[in-house]
């Protein structure tokens, strides 16, 4: 694919576009609940998006204090555009914004466990989770 990818920092996103990317990427999110998706992207601390021909194809959404830690809560790339380095670049651009003093943390879905070490993440054994109810 010879498309030019445009990356945007904190670009307001239409929730229906986000749902389309989530569904096309394979990531599991509550995409049948559009108001919930809208709330997820209404006031995040950091969103980096990838666009091809004015079409949203990838998104990285993080919550951060810009000083100590950053939680990468969503990393999704439309399957049709995967394996082009878009996910890697979304993470790189997120890291560029937060800087070297900030730890980038995520909880990987079981399907993505092998991907994250290939883009610089280390597996951590010292994490705890209280799971959401739905």
Per-residue pLDDT tens digits for 85-106: 999 999 999 999 999 989 999 9
| 127 assigned to some structural domain | no
Residue 9 within any structural domain of the chain: yes
Residue 81 lies in a domain: yes
Residue carrying the six token digits 């790189």? 92
What is the domain count for the chain?
1
Query: Which pair of tokens denotes residue 67?
Result: 């000083």
Is residue 105 one of the residues assigned to a domain?
yes
* Whole-number pLDDT of residue 109: 84
Which residue segment(s) compose the domain that 54 sits in? 5-119
- pLDDT tens-digit map of 33-48: 999 888 888 766 799 9
In a domain, 86, yes or no: yes
Question: 126 lies in a domain?
Answer: no
Distance CA 45, CA 64 (A): 6
| Position 75 in a domain | yes
Q: Residue 66 sits in a domain of what CATH number? A: 3.40.630.30
Q: Please choose, from the candidates 81, 71, 84, the residue with its C-alpha nearest in 3D space to the C-alpha of residue 40.
A: 71
Q: In this structure, is residue 114 part of a structural domain?
A: yes
Radius of gyration of the chain (CA): 14
Q: Are the C-beta atoms of 17 and 49 separated by less than 8 Å?
A: no
DSSP-H helix ranges across the chain: 15-25, 34-42, 86-98
């Amino acid at each position: 694919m010879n498309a030019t990818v445009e990356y945007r920092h904190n670009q307001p996103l239409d929730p229906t576009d986000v749902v389309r990317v989530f569904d096309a990427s394979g990531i599991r999110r509550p995409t049948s609940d559009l108001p919930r998706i809208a709330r997820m992207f209404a006031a995040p601390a950091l969103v980096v998006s990838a666009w091809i021909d004015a079409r949203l194809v990838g998104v990285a959404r993080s919550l951060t204090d810009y000083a100590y830690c950053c939680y990468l809560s969503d990393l999704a790339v439309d399957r049709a555009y995967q394996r082009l380095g878009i996910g890697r670049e979304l993470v790189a651009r997120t890291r560029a914004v937060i800087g070297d003093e900030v730890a980038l943390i995520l909880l990987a879905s079981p399907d993505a466990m092998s991907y994250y070490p290939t883009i610089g993440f280390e597996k951590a054994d010292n994490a705890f989770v209280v799971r959401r109810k739905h």
